[in-house]
Structure 1
């Protein structure tokens, strides 16, 4: 898989070339991840919601909190939660402190599904990125952190 820009884009700025390369790479990595998830019946967005809820612990999160933590912003988190609830992967309950607040939590079935996906996804990520080795991976993370910080200043 090459992420080098085509010749037609050679005249664009270096920043634009890097941007396009990152977009192509993200799309390729996402497609490969979606293939692993396909057997579980989860979309990437649904998987991310479950991953977020697993990390949140027993207290659960509101729809807004989940939306704020998603990798790709999905304006319809409620729809994602509806589908996950129909599959018995999440539960939703009203807060006892404020009845207007609905908290979503991952169910044991949802935890088991994620546990079943942990090893195949870890294998995929090693295949995708492992050739770089730990030192280069840390460098990539540091560079991406710098880009993210700069990006937050813009928008």
Structure 2
């Protein structure tokens, strides 16, 4: 599929195509993240807090802290503090497992589910606003390319 927009592809001297692509991805991520952060600000949430709530909505039985960390889009070195903030706002609850007292299970609360429900449509609208012009076919191609880029080389 051919792109309909002409883009200046002249790399700076010494730049590799990989470096140019990396910088373009970073610029794109910054542009996309800004609009997303504006939507989350309405509920006083960071993108990492939102990520945790989405993870827990998908696991209503709850998850141990380590598993939440493994599933996060961006790694947070202090997951405990992140969970503390969400628990203080009653968006999540934590309890120790009866069989293994070392394991703390985290669950989303009804307040957390309500918060996500309020955000669902504004988040979708923000994504459509920033990416909808690409169309379904290009979005699928771009998604496939990004997944391929994340795979470790053989």
**How does the TM-score come out when normalised to structure 1?**
0.89
Q: How does 1:40-55 map to 2 (within 5 A)?
A: 40-55=43-58
Deviation at 1:5, TM superposition (A): 8.5
Work out the number of aligned pairs and report it: 147
Question: Closer, same or farther in 2 for the Cα pair 1:31/1:60, shift >3 Å?
Answer: same
C-alpha deviation, 1:6, in angstroms: 10
Q: Which has the higher helix share?
A: 1
Match of 1:75 among 77, 84, 87: 77
Q: Deviations over 1:33-84 (max 9, x none)?
A: 1111111011111111111111112x21111111111111101010010000
C-alpha separation between the residues in 1 aligned to 2:56 and 2:24? 31
Between the aligned partners of 2:95 and 2:75, the Cα distance in structure 1 is: 23
Q: Distance in 2 between matches of 1:31 and 1:68?
A: 25
CA distance in 1, matches of 2:120, 2:19: 34
Greater mean alpha carbon deviation, residues 26-35 or residues 81-90: 26-35
2:26 to 15, 23, 26: 23
Structure 2 equivalent of residue 131 of structure 1: 133
SS in structure 1 of the partner of residue 30 of structure 2: helix
Q: State the Cα RMSD in Å.
A: 1.8
CA offset at residue 100 of structure 1?
Answer: 0.6
Give me the TM-score of the superposition, normalised by structure 2.
0.89
Q: Mapping of 1:54-133 within 5 angstroms?
A: 54-57=57-60, 59-133=61-135
Higher relative contact order (CA 8 A, sep 6+): 2
| Segments of 4+ moved more than 2 angstroms | 4-7
Q: Does the CA contact (< 8 Å) of 1:5 and 1:17 recur in 2? A: no
